[in-house]
Every structure is written in structure tokens, then in C-alpha cells.
Structure 1
Amino acid sequence: MSEWSLAGGRWPGIAIHAWSLEEADPVLSERLGWLNADEVARADAFTRDEPRRHFILARGGLRRLLAERLGISPVEVAFAYGPSGKPCLAGDDPPHFNLAHTGELAVVAIADRPVGIDAEVIRPRKSASDLAARWFHPDEQRRIDSAGDPLAEFYRTWVMKEAALKLVGVGVGESLPKLLTPDDPAGGVATGLPPNELGIAACCVEPLAIGPNYAAALAFTEETR
């Protein structure tokens, strides 16, 4: 698996790994063999080959990394789901994780605390301003309108918002406009989180550099749980 780690030691207790979803058939077959029946059914639900391959390689890569962390085989990794449907590991005091995949890349955060991660391929969008007006906080809309590169700022903001919502296990919806991400390019604190099972109203968010033409962000709590 073509894999790399990001900024080791930058976030104590949090490891971030990214890998390519463009792999040969033997690798695909191996990863498919690691999946459980539910994951295989989800893979088979795709009508196009590329999304199916990417799902298998993303989920298989996640299993391999978690297996290494737990000292077991990828097949033995057992998933559970929280009250809001957020995936987690079964068992006593397991590490937290969150996975995202987009385009030809997958990225995962494995941590000693709740985490959320999101990634998007940066594509031209004529409707970026309209989307921001509908889904973003007014302060974020002003930030995008005044940015030197409005498209890049749109995606930077979008992935931070998604990562924060994935951290608390809440889907994208009416909560998006109330969630305010930091304007500092290095990240900061996102406020206005919707009610969630963690019982938090704010979290840390930081942009990630995972490759050209990609936007990504990490969200995490300051304390372990």
C-alpha cells in the first residue's frame, strides 16, 4: 500500500495516515478478503467499478492500520456504532478513529481521543458562493468573499466544518450555518457545535496538507475520553 504519515508528533496522541486508492488487482483482492459481510454488501451496492474499488481499498487500509495498532489481523478488527451511527471499535477502551476518502486518496486519524477527519478534491465550482450563502456562517461567507482565492477558502472552510461534525457524529444539515470555523490559516477552535453525544460545544480544527488539489482537515478534543 502506497502510504505516508503526516506531521508525526504535531498532535500528541493522534496519528494521521494517508494512502493511495489506485492499487493493482492483487491488492484489491487481499483487501476485499479482510472485509466483513456488511462491508462486502456495501461495496457490492456500488454500480460503478471505481467507487467500489476505492471503498474496498479505503476500508481495507483502515483495517490494516487498526490491526497493527491492536496487534491482531485485519480480519479480526470488529467495528461497532455509536448512538448516532458513528463507527468505532468494539471492545474495552479502544483507540478512536475516523476515515475519509476522496478522489484517489484515503486518510485516517487514529487517536487517544475523539477525532473527525474530512478530505475533498478541490474542483472548480461556479456555485461555491451560493453554497456558502446557504450552508456557512455569515462570518465564513465574508471570509470567502474577501479571500484572495475564494475557491481554496471555500474548501478549507468546508472540510473543517465536516471534520468537526464527524468528530461529534452529527450529519451535515441545519447545523452547518451555526458552526463557525476559525479564520486563522493554521486552524483554531470551531464553535457552535450542535447537540451531540460528547456533550461539547467547541473543538479544535486544523487544515491538513495531504496532496496537491486536495483540502483536508482534522478535528479533535483537547482532552482524552
Structure 2
Amino acid sequence: MSRETSEAVPDRSAIAIVPATLASFLGEPHPREVTGAGLGVWLIDTARVADHELEIGRSWLDEAERQQASKYVRAELRRAYEIAHAAARLVVGASTDTPPEKVVWGRHACPGCGEPHGRPRAEGTAIEFSLSHTPGQILVAVADVPVGVDVEIHPDDPTALAGVLHPQETAEIEAAARGTLDGGRAAVRFTRAWSRTEAYLKGIGIGLGRDPHLDYLGTDDAPGRTLDGWVLNDVVVPEGYGAALALHN
């Protein structure tokens, strides 16, 4: 993949995506198309998933998912991972008429090296999907074209993390922290930039194999933008979080 830098073009006329709510594992999620790309997006509040429902969701997970979940030391993070993967199985299964426990995960080829560790996929289907989890909130998306989603909780110290982003985004976040930009909303600006960057890199399928310094997605409040054949939209999530979705155009 090219290592050249790129800069997104903001679109203030765009509309942030309002996800459907997935409140239970006991019913079938009804896909709600958001765009002409067959896009459906669901938000899950982890606090609303009852323990007995999570037990059902756990029973759908494969051995690799169970092993990955066991690596989380913090129970909160382990629970979020389990809910996210159970939700993805439920949504993808409903979209492909497959029982959630029968969904088989695979990987597309990596665009950087060609090895099979790129964007995740559901084997035997043409559906594309993406999921993201952070303490408290989970996003799952399905589409007819490559898609990436990311949801992030606002960090306590955004300036300590800002250096991982594009230099211009770092400067904007630091200016916000000093109070010279945006009334000091540094955490909001960081989460915008990071969720947009993560969604874009997930959609491409290379993840952090591409340096986040290379792409400027912006910290501004424009709800949409375009970059190298991708359309990015912010996603409406509860206060204290930020989220974005990238869809191949």
C-alpha cells in the first residue's frame, strides 16, 4: 500500500449516521438500510445486556474467540469483547440467514502484503462487516461494500495520546487543550480524529499496518468527509464517546 500522505475533504452538508439499537440477543435484529450500499449499523450499550443473554451469546463464540476473550485481564474489557462478537454473529447471521453459532469468520487478503490477515469477513457470503468495542459501547455494521467502524470513549488525557495521529491533528488537539481552539474540547477532538482514522484503516483492511501519521481525517465537527475513494461519516453515540464509519465509494 502507498505510504504517501493524504488529506480528507470535509463535507458539512453530510448527516451523521444514527445507528439502530440492538437491545437484546433474544430476537432477530432487523436490518435498517442507511444508504444505498445496503448499510446497516447497530449500537449496543453493554450495560443493557443482561447476564443470562450474554451466556447465550457466549455459546455462539468459536474457540478462537473464547481464547481471545480470556486474554483480557479486566472483566469490563472481556465482557465488551464477548458482547461485540456475539452481536456481530447475530447481525451477520440475520443478514445472511445463518444461525449465529454457524457464522464462520475469515480474513480478506491484506492490501499491504497479500497475506490473509486483512479486513474480517464471514466465510461463504458476500457481506462485508465491521465491529468495534470500547468500555460501555459497541458498534456493528454490515454492508454490500467494504466498511469500517470505530467507537471510542473520550480519554482522560488526550494530549498524551495525540502524538499517534497526523501532525496537524496533534496540533489541533494541543491547541484545544490550551484553550486556544474550540473552548478546550481536546478530548472530543481527539476522539473524532482517532475514530475516523481507525474506521478508515479498518475499512481498507490494513489497520495500524498503515501509520496513522499519514492520513489527515481532521478533528473538526463536519459530520462527513471523503478520502481516496472512501466516504466517512460520524456516528451518533452517547455523550462521552465518539464514533465514525468508513464506506468504500
C-alpha separation between the residues in 1 aligned to 2:83 and 2:63?
A: 16
Structure number with higher relative contact order (C-alpha < 8 Å, ≥ 6 residues apart): 2
- The answer for the alignment partner of 1:36 in structure 2 is 62
Given candidates 95, 120, 123, the residue that maps to 1:87 is 120
C-alpha separation between the residues in 2 aligned to 1:131 and 1:43?
A: 25
Matches within 5 A, 1:1-225: 2=23, 10-12=34-36, 13-22=38-47, 23-84=49-110, 85=117, 86-92=119-125, 94-125=126-157, 128-132=158-162, 134-144=163-173, 145=175, 146-148=181-183, 149-172=185-208, 175-182=211-218, 183=220, 185-190=222-227, 201-222=228-249
Deviations 1:89-124 (CA, angstroms, capped at 9, x unpaired): 1114x2100000111111111001101111111132
Q: TM-score, structure 1 length as denominator? A: 0.82
Distance 1:174 1:219, change over 3 A: closer
Distance 1:129 1:173, change over 3 A: farther
Q: Which amino acid aligns with 1:102?
A: T
In structure 2, list runs of 5 or more residues that go unmatched: 1-21, 111-116, 176-180
Q: TM-score, structure 2 length as denominator? A: 0.75
C-alpha separation between the residues in 2 aligned to 1:43 and 1:69?
A: 25
- The answer for the alignment partner of 1:194 in structure 2 is none
C-alpha separation between the residues in 1 aligned to 2:120 and 2:233?
A: 22
Q: Which amino acid aligns with 2:121?
A: C
C-alpha separation between the residues in 1 aligned to 2:221 and 2:73?
A: 41
C-alpha separation between the residues in 2 aligned to 1:174 and 1:64?
A: 30
1:51, CA displacement in angstroms? 2.2
Distance 1:49 1:184, change over 3 A: closer
- The answer for the alignment partner of 2:14 in structure 1 is none
Distance 1:45 1:220, change over 3 A: same
Number of aligned residues: 205
Deviations 1:36-94 (CA, angstroms, capped at 9, x unpaired): 111112122233333222221111111111111111211111111122323111114x2
What is the percent sequence identity of the aligned residues? Answer: 27
C-alpha separation between the residues in 2 aligned to 1:66 and 1:10?
A: 16
**RMSD of aligned residue pairs (Cα, Å):** 2.1
